[in-house]
Chain A
């Protein structure tokens, strides 16, 4: 929780004023018993009716001032808490935006989402409560003690013993509870996971008649959750009775000591009543505190889960940290400027005609055993079409994901337009590239929104061209509203092939220099697949194209085919060459064509 408090910084004024006004209110509240004691001792003993009335007016006045102070405090607390939550959400969201692919892989989406939503809400109400009450309660407790000392030092010693004992109990239980609530939250996570899994895998579960086992599994997790909830509850349940005993035991002692002091004439009966009032004020505050503890321990547990997200390192050096190194290579820097202001083809041809080069690249996934890619070494000319083919898990996708620097190579370097990818501003690098990922992910909105996702400022003409080449025109026009037709979250209302075509259009609308199709035509039938490739060939801006595929038909006309086998290059060349020289390629080709006896 502590390390998150820095997000309160922008609300320094509010977070100081809120407790301050609360304390002001509390001070007025603390005066009331003294006034009442005066009523008893002076008013009643002295039979002074007008004194009683005026003192009561004073009490109402105190109440009124307290009311105003309290509302002011509530306002500042609410302002600080909601502002804090906003800042926290913003920071978290921005942080997640910066996480590298490998960090996202390990963190897991589901928990990132719950942490950003429900955990932040918990922390928000925790901060609100904290500012409002957590300082007020100790203040009243201590204030009551001070007042008690003011009334009579000898009797007040009881307070001095009771209050530390109480704090010990209260804080002991808080600290015992924090790890327990974390466990509760984790138990809840497990229940959530199995529920989600069952919904996503419902067909498989039913196909294998696994319903009973799943219920059993759920039951186990459910019972485990209940157990830990009960255990945490048992500890919280101690709080009330123990504080009650301490307070009232202190009360008895207080009465006895008070009696002795009254007997010897040091204090009056009214003083004893005031002391009792202070004791009961402490009790009331403690009950409030106890209820608060539940909220606060939950908030603290949630805060540490949030902290966990914030502590995930971004996983990639940003350009700023590397700037020094980059600036040394001034020549390339200038080259780069020429290119960013670009859009004319003349400049391009004047430059080095190499689009992408892999220089002895090796890559290992975080936490994985062995290398996924070993010694990738090749270069691709501008405008070339490169086919990448190979077995499952041979590293095809990984290879292309190194180009936009989704992952960093462990050894060797990847160059795009003659410059090491690590020396680019990430955005600048990715702007050159149109990526069509394996999983066709679309966003809620219209079809147009989804295509514009690729390029905000795309003209109608560009959109037209993109959907035309992506073979998406026909189905878009068939939709009610055409480009303005709604896409549901994740593209649920579209078929697999339609989704893929839209993701292809989304990449094409950027008019990228490098187009990467990462096995993204698997849901397209052969005719569409072929038409797509023909369309890309005709594009006026001649992108360098990487096609990852399982089908030889998709890559057979590529200028260069890279055959991967178990993370290594098994062959490279064009179709005819490979058929002659590369055994792996022959096998792949035969597996798809021989039987069909073309």
Chain B
């Protein structure tokens, strides 16, 4: 635990190193600002000593002191200002770097990681944790440095005036630290309970608001509100406990401060009586007593904040240091011309070790062939696609494209030789044009329109308020599922890759349009190898090879005629179409 923390600190420091210049300047400026702040009470004290009584005011001495004071004020303020600027820059730049690294990591993580972790969890690492870390870091920079320096500086100044009274301050002050850490320890569990309850509530909110339409369709609003209110009530209770008990810290330490103040007052007064101290020095002491205890309180606050920040940092680093996908081999080949020859040689694969899925799969696809993958729902059809695209690596055996093991090919060239349309349509927020151009950013407008026409998306795009420049929101916004799918097809049409993967690609498109698209597809597929996951038997019938899958295994393989003759699972599936 402890070791982990130091490791995290080291990593944070490592990142700050890049901005050592700002760090150094900030440290120097902090020293100047603190020194200035501390020296001012001494000057004030001296000034007070020039103001003794009626007719006993030394104006000449006063003016000399005033001149000094003004200089110190100016320098201190300037140092404070520049210091804040440095701290800001350093913090936000470090945070920017971290966010960037985290995001870049997302792009090279194995898909397994993303599939296994809820989106919300990863997003909260990149956004909320980083933000919290920024707050903590900034507070750490600005308050921890100056706090520590103020303590040290005050101690020095106080010692230079009077040792005895300094001792009084030094002895009493730590009490506030004890009180603070005692309360922090006691409230830790309360905060934990609060954050657990909060998490529970967020999960409910996320789920219910995410599916608000279903909730309303079943008129479950009141039930849902009731469940919400139950958690809400618990949250209020534990939140009150945590907030209240932790907020005792402040009054408690302030009470200790007033003890210090009184202690200084009484010992100081006696010292003045004995002539060890002037009244002006006592006044300086009194302001020091205030200044000395303040950073203690702040530091205890900063320490909790920093610990929180470190915990966040640890979570982010976990993501950043997550093992990336196996990088392309150094000598990885770039696929040249691809005719579409694909071979699966004794492929075995499973998502969870020990839970067999695909076993000893053999398949050889000649250029231009159509491979249809059929089977009941949930039989693992999409797994084959995951393997072909190398979203996942096979456990045993090999997949070869153009007789090359795909692990020896750069991912980029492998993937750009496939055109993929998934059932789960995904569009980026941006304009329609940007979305179609995704695979070919430099495509000319005519090409884009050509592709859109071929996929029958053109007519609906034209009817949108701004045509191709219409901005669509997150996840396609107001487009219908079918329209989204048409756009996804247009996206592939534009790139014209040598091989195609269509996963239920036309499930939400009406069959009339589908027919037209398929004509376009047929033209496009001529001479191109294609893998099609489909329910529609009309699509499947024309395939050269049909893979029939059940429970993750390929149980039959052949063309339509052969499979019907076999009178196996496929025949049963096919005949059921008309068994109403």
Contacts and interface: CB of A to CB of B under 8 A. Distances in A.
B112 to A, nearest CB: 11
Contacts of B47: 255, 259
B220 interface: yes
A309 to B, nearest CB: 11
A487 B35 CA distance: 63
A443 B538 CA distance: 35
Contacts of A370: 463
B572 to A, nearest CB: 8
Given A63-B255, A208-B438, A237 B481 contact: no
B576 A526 contact: yes
A344 interface: no
Contacts of A347: none
B578 A598 contact: yes
B108 interface: yes
A113 B123 contact: no
Closest 7 CB pairs of A and B: A497-B377, A392-B482, A495-B378, A63-B258, A265-B54, A237-B84, A527-B576
Given A244-B80, A490-B210, 18 more contacts: A40-B269, A52-B269, A93-B205, A196-B474, A198-B107, A203-B111, A205-B107, A206-B111, A207-B389, A226-B95, A237-B85, A248-B40, A273-B283, A392-B513, A437-B213, A438-B481, A489-B203, A525-B576
B444 interface: no
Q: Chain A: interface residue count, which band?
A: 35 or more
B64 interface: no
Interface stretch (A70-78, A145-153, A374-382, A461-469): A70-78
B420 interface: yes
A341 to B, nearest CB: 18
Contacts of A527: 572-573, 576-577, 579
18 contacts: A53-B266, A67-B251, A78-B247, A97-B224, A108-B474, A117-B205, A195-B122, A242-B77, A259-B62, A263-B55, A273-B283, A276-B48, A284-B290, A369-B463, A391-B510, A393-B483, A444-B207, A523-B507
A308 to B, nearest CB: 15
Interface string A556-598: 1100000000000000000000000000100110011001101
Contacts of A557: 580
B182 interface: no
Interface stretch (B5-13, B225-233, B394-402): B225-233
Given A489-B118, A595-B538, A193 B474 contact: yes
A226 B93 CA distance: 7
Contacts of B438: 204, 208, 210
B310 interface: no
A338 to B, nearest CB: 21
B243 A128 contact: yes
Given A229-B92, A392-B513, A430-B217, A71 B248 contact: yes
Given A199-B122, A456-B223, A208 B92 contact: no
A519 B439 CA distance: 30
B338 interface: no
Contacts of B269: 39-40, 43-44, 52
Nearest to A43: B269
Given A70-B251, A406-B213, A519 B96 contact: no
Question: Which residue among B78, B212, B418, B512 has the maximum number of chain A CB atoms within 10 Å of its CB?
Answer: B512
Nearest to B104: A215
Contact of B258 (A62, A204, A510): A62
B483 A203 contact: no
B258 A60 contact: yes
B51 interface: yes
A202 B392 CA distance: 13
Nearest to A236: B84
Contacts of A368: 478
Nearest to B464: A369
Contacts of B485: 392
A591 B514 contact: yes
A515 B51 CA distance: 93
Interface in A190-241: 191-193, 195-211, 213-215, 218-219, 222-223, 225-226, 229-230, 233-234, 236-238, 240-241
Contacts of A263: 51, 54-57, 59
Nearest to A263: B57
A154 interface: no
Given A39-B265, A64-B255, A525-B573, A265 B55 contact: yes
Contact of B537 (A32, A53, A97, A596): A596
A109, A260, A550, A598 interface centre (most CB from chain B within 10 Å)? A550
Contacts of B59: 259, 263
Given A200-B475, A262-B53, A394-B510, A406 B217 contact: yes
Interface stretch (A83-91, A175-183, A320-328): A83-91
Contact of A233 (B92, B201, B376): B92
Contact of B99 (A89, A222, A365, A441): A222
A252 interface: yes
Interface in B471-521: 473-475, 478, 480-483, 485-486, 488, 491, 495, 507-515
Contact of A70 (B250, B426, B488): B250
B73 interface: yes
B259 interface: yes
A310 interface: no
Contacts of B104: 215
Contacts of B576: 525-527, 530
Interface in B89-106: 89, 92-93, 95-96, 99-100, 103-104, 106
A557 B89 CA distance: 70
Nearest to A270: B279
A74 B70 contact: no
Contacts of A81: 243
Given A40-B269, A49-B270, A524-B377, A82 B122 contact: no
Interface string B235-275: 11001100110011011101100110110011001101100
B415 interface: yes
Contact of B474 (A86, A110, A210, A393): A110
Contacts, number: 459
Contact of A215 (B107, B111, B202): B107
A300 B77 CA distance: 28
Contacts of A110: 474
Contact of A59 (B244, B265, B389, B415): B265
A116 interface: yes
A93 B225 contact: yes
B538 A238 contact: no
Interface stretch (B125-133, B162-170, B364-372): B125-133
B204 to A, nearest CB: 9
Interface string A507-542: 000100000000100111111101001100000000
A258 B51 contact: yes
A59 B262 contact: yes
B428 interface: yes
B304 to A, nearest CB: 14
A40 B224 CA distance: 67
A112 B210 CA distance: 9
A202 B106 CA distance: 9
A136 B203 CA distance: 37
B287 A241 contact: no
A188 interface: yes
Interface string A419-451: 000000011001101010110010110000000
A489 B206 CA distance: 10
A525 B78 contact: no
B174 interface: no
B188 interface: no
Contacts of A392: 460, 480, 482-483, 485-486, 508-510, 513
A210 B115 CA distance: 19
A168 to B, nearest CB: 17
A428 B19 CA distance: 64
B559 interface: no
B81 interface: yes
